[in-house]
Amino acid sequence: SQKIEQNSEALNIQEGKTATLTCNYTNYSPAYLQWYRQDPGRGPVFLLLIRENEKEKRKERLKVTFDTTLKQSLFHITASQPADSATYLCAPGAHGNNRLAFGKGNQVVVIP
Amino acid sequence: EPEVTQTPSHQVTQMGQEVILRCVPISNHLYFYWYRQILGQKVEFLVSFYNNEISEKSEIFDDQFSVERPDGSNFTLKIRSTKLEDSAMYFCASSEAVDYGYTFGSGTRLTVV
């Protein structure tokens, strides 16, 4: 069955450092992969989408990579700030498939 | 910035009662979704809706659940006979296209007692 794996342990990081999160997937051949941010009690907020023919995507202090050989995506927050503290969800998607599945998410805590 | 609006924000209902959760998706979006999140667990797909019909549904979305787009703006999720295990946060989302980012609403917290 399809699996999306994100680290269940929270990532505690000092303000100003780069946070790196990993998303691994199995039994999937996604055409794209999305990353979302979720704050407690709130809905997910879309951050970035990277397609299978793209190696890297950037948006402000965020960077995402997508390695279809390793079946992995990395999500980086550079120059992290306390306001970046949240849970980050990855969601691989297939062509024409209208049922986006989410990983459990990886919590980031940025320490001032 | 356009928003997805969900009402009510909280709903408490007796087991066995019917509930209707309401959503107003973003006006130019064509794809609509319902997800749920049980406390402490992951966001789970329930159903997707396009062109006035269900396009995908999960194993969770059994005969107790139904969706409707009764007019040009609202999108509703009905649970016919609620169970205790239906207690969760229910999120509505919409997107312009299948492989675009989703915009989620702020959710309805459903508590079944």
pLDDT at site B2:
87
Each residue of A9-36: pLDDT tens digit?
999 999 999 999 999 999 888 999 999 9
Give the dihedral of Cα atoms A38, A42, A47, A53; nearest 10 deg. Answer: 70
∠ CA A102-A34-B86, nearest 5°, is 25
Please report the domains of chain B, with CATH numbers, ordered by start residue. Answer: 11-112 (2.60.40.10)
Each residue of B52-106: pLDDT tens digit?
999 999 999 999 999 999 887 899 999 999 999 999 999 999 999 888 999 999 9
Across the interface, whether the CB atoms of B41 and A103 are under 8 A apart is answered no
How far apart CA B23 and CA B2 sit, in angstroms, is 14
Q: Which residues of A, range 45-84, sit inside 8 Å of B by Cβ?
A: 45-47, 49, 51
Span B40-48, mean pLDDT? 96
How far apart CA B55 and CA A61 sit, in angstroms, is 36
Of A32, A95, A99, the CB nearest to B58: A99
How far apart CA A94 and CA A31 sit, in angstroms, is 5
Across the interface, whether the CB atoms of A43 and B56 are under 8 A apart is answered no
Span A58-83, mean pLDDT? 97
Across the interface, whether the CB atoms of A99 and B56 are under 8 A apart is answered yes
pLDDT at site A99:
87
What percent of chain A lies above the pLDDT cut of 70? 100
Q: Give domain A3-111's CATH architecture.
A: Sandwich (2.60)
Across the interface, whether the CB atoms of A42 and B43 are under 8 A apart is answered no
Domains of chain A: which residue ranges?
A: 3-111
Nearest CA in chain B to A46: B101
Nearest CA in chain B to A33: B99
Say whether pLDDT at B15 is over 90: yes
Query: Is the CB of residue A22 less than 8 Å from the CB of residue A74?
Result: yes
Cβ contacts of B59 on chain A, cutoff 8 Å:
none
Nearest CA in chain A to B92: A43
